[in-house]
Amino acid sequence: MAVVEDLVRSIAQAVTGGLVIEISGRQIDLATPFERSTMFEIIGQATGRDLMAIWNDGDAAALSTAATELGVRIDERWSRGKVLAEIFEQTSEKTLIAPTFVTGFPTDVSPLAKDHRSIPGFTEHADLILGGLEIAPIYSELNDPTEQRRRFEQQAEAREAGDDEATVKDEEFLEALAYGMPPAGGFGLGIDRLLMLLLQADSIREVVLFPTLRPEAT
């Protein structure tokens, strides 16, 4: 998270000549330390609902009921983690205009991230949100091939249950992990989204170097 925070500042300085940018009519000072909050905290701020108690009770039906009460569209076949992530995405993500690292992603929606070393059921995964957009997912890489296979199988079941975002099993990746992978961490920076915000572009097409175009008529 510290590396990504410094990188975003460096890019903003290079692109705009400063660290104060405007997003949705609001002045954002990137020199200010980025916020760090859990998914539960952000949902609570946006909706006024404390979902942590429901989560800790392990009552999947109660969590689904809370989602419905918040106007969140869900599938009854989804796991608790998927429901929680959907609540966050539909009610809270767009409210994060200032840069915020969101932590507290359940294991079943972070299939490639290592289990959290102190919080059961969660992973060492954070997302940087800026201007209501996901700019960079960050996590400790899962390097246990047995656990990774179990996660892939779990994702396959989720896909069969209608989750189009579920990860597809990758046997070559599993084989590579079986030969050995050292502890690692990383992030994926959405450079197009970041530039769109820095340049106040109306569409991401304005900053993509090689946008997808329609075939020429023959």
Q: Which tens digits make up the pLDDT trace of 158-189?
A: 888 777 778 888 999 999 999 988 999 999 99
**Least confidently predicted of 12-21, 52-61, 82-91:** 52-61
Task: Give the C-alpha separation, 63 to 108, whole Å.
Answer: 15
pTM over 0.95: no
Residue 90 domain flag: yes
Residue 84 domain flag: yes
Task: Give the C-alpha separation, 94 to 34, whole Å.
Answer: 16
Residue 218 domain flag: no
Does position 104 have pLDDT exceeding 70, yes or no? yes
Residue 204 domain flag: no
Residue 7 domain flag: yes
Residue 29 domain flag: yes
Residue 210 domain flag: no
Q: Name the burial class of residue 123, with classes exposed (0-12), middle (13-18) and buried (19+) by CB atoms within 10 angstroms of its CB.
A: buried
Which residues span the domain enclosing 32? 2-197
Mean per-residue pLDDT for 139-168? 88
Mean per-residue pLDDT for 51-64? 92
Q: What is the CATH number of the domain that holds 68?
A: 3.30.930.10
What pLDDT does residue 137 have?
97
Does position 217 have pLDDT exceeding 80, yes or no? no
Q: How many domains does the chain have?
A: 1
| The two structure tokens encoding residue 189 | 């920076």
Entry field: residues in the chain: 218
Task: Give the C-alpha separation, 199 to 131, whole Å.
Answer: 13
What pLDDT does residue 218 have?
65
Buried b (16+ CB within 10 A) or exposed e, 85-117: bbbbeebbbeebbbbbbbbbbbbbbbbbbbbbe
CA 74 to chain centre: 18
Q: Is the dihedral of CA 58, 61, 66, 72 positive or negative?
A: positive
Task: Give the C-alpha separation, 145 to 49, whole Å.
Answer: 38
**Percent with pLDDT over 70 in the chain:** 100
> Do the beta carbons of residue 97 and residue 24 sit within 8 Å?
yes
Does position 156 have pLDDT exceeding 90, yes or no? no
Q: Average pLDDT over the chain, rounded to whole?
A: 92
| The two structure tokens encoding residue 77 | 């076949």
Residue 203 domain flag: no
